[in-house]
Structure 1
Amino acid sequence: MNVQIYYEDFVINDSRTTTGRTITEADIVFHAGHTGDFYPHHMDEEWCKTQPFKKRIAHGTLIFSVGVGLTAGVINDVAMTYGYDRLRFIKPVFINDTIKATVTIKDKRDHKKPGYGIVTEQVEVHNQHKELVMVFEHLLLVQKKSADG
């Protein structure tokens, strides 16, 4: 679905929560193949039994990718991703964990490009136990309704 949500329309502290997504073994194997990250933390069940978490963990970059994807339910024709900041992996995600993302508008500021502003969304990813597993900021470059806006 395409929408037009201009800079002026974003409201600080507005939030939304996504649907869930269960992380599977196939996700981990495919991600390892795509990235070349075959570290034993993700691929070697027996080695992981000797480690603190006692089982394989999902790649942080996999959870970041899925977390971003969960937030992408609507196409905003007047905004685009400007970048990501302050990415932190808080807790591990395991095979068969289900994650959801909560997006909260945290900041708005003018951009040097006339007619645009930056909207900062804080994205918090939680597992099925409501434990925070990841947090990051998503920066959006958003068109203003008017160049003066």
Structure 2
Amino acid sequence: MEREQFFEDYVVGEVRHTTGRTITETDIVFHAGHSGDYFPHHVDVEFCKTQPFKRPIAHGTMTFAIGIGLTATEINPRAMSYGYDRLRFPNPVFAGDTIRTAVTVKSKEVDEKRPGFGRVIEAKDVTNQHGKTVMYVEHILIVEMKGDAK
């Protein structure tokens, strides 16, 4: 679904929430295959029994891909991704966890390098079914200004 917004339409403090997505053991195994990351913390049940979490944990890169992917249900054709800052994984994700993403407009400013565009920073807080943050990242967007503001 498109959600067309110009830079001026973003409101600092505005929050939107995604639907949930349950992580499966198959997701973890497929991600290991796609990424080549067979680190034992993700795929070796017996090794994990000797570790603090006692069971395999999802890859951070998979949590990032799915957590961000959940926000793609609303595409803004006026915005482009510039990058991500402050990526953190404060708690693990396990098979069976359901994650969802809260997107908060953290800040916005005119982009001095790109006439006719502004920068919007969206804080993305991915939580599990217990409300614990499993990933936090700030997404930097370059967003087109309205014609009269260019």
**Range into which the TM-score falls when normalised by the shorter chain:** over 0.9
State the Cα deviation string for residues 88-128 of structure 1 (Å, max 9, x = none). Answer: 01000001100010000000011111000110000001000
Q: Which residue of 2 aligns with 1:55?
A: 55
Q: Which residue of 1 aligns with 2:76?
A: 76
User: In structure 1, the residue corresponding to 2:147 is in which secondary structure?
Assistant: coil
User: In structure 1, the residue corresponding to 2:73 is in which secondary structure?
Assistant: coil
- TM normalised by structure 2 equals 0.96
User: Does residue 121 of the first structure (1) align with residue 118 of the second (2)?
Assistant: no
Q: Which runs of 5+ in 2 are unaligned?
A: none
Separation in structure 1 between the aligned mates of residue 38 and residue 127 of structure 2, nearest angstrom: 25
Is the CA contact 1:116–1:147 (under 8 Å) kept in the aligned structure 2? no
User: In structure 1, the residue corresponding to 2:149 is in which secondary structure?
Assistant: coil
Is the CA contact 1:45–1:56 (under 8 Å) kept in the aligned structure 2? yes
State the Cα deviation string for residues 48-71 of structure 1 (Å, max 9, x = none). Answer: 000000000000010000000011
Q: Which runs of 5+ in 1 are unaligned?
A: none
User: Does residue 91 of the first structure (1) align with residue 53 of the second (2)?
Assistant: no
Instruction: Quote how far apart the aligned CAs of 1:147 are.
Output: 6.2
Separation in structure 2 between the aligned mates of residue 100 and residue 121 of structure 1, nearest angstrom: 15
Separation in structure 1 between the aligned mates of residue 140 and residue 47 of structure 2, nearest angstrom: 38
User: In structure 1, the residue corresponding to 2:8 is in which secondary structure?
Assistant: helix
- TM normalised by structure 1 equals 0.97
User: In percent, how many aligned pairs have the same letter?
Assistant: 57
- Give RMSD over aligned pairs: 1.0
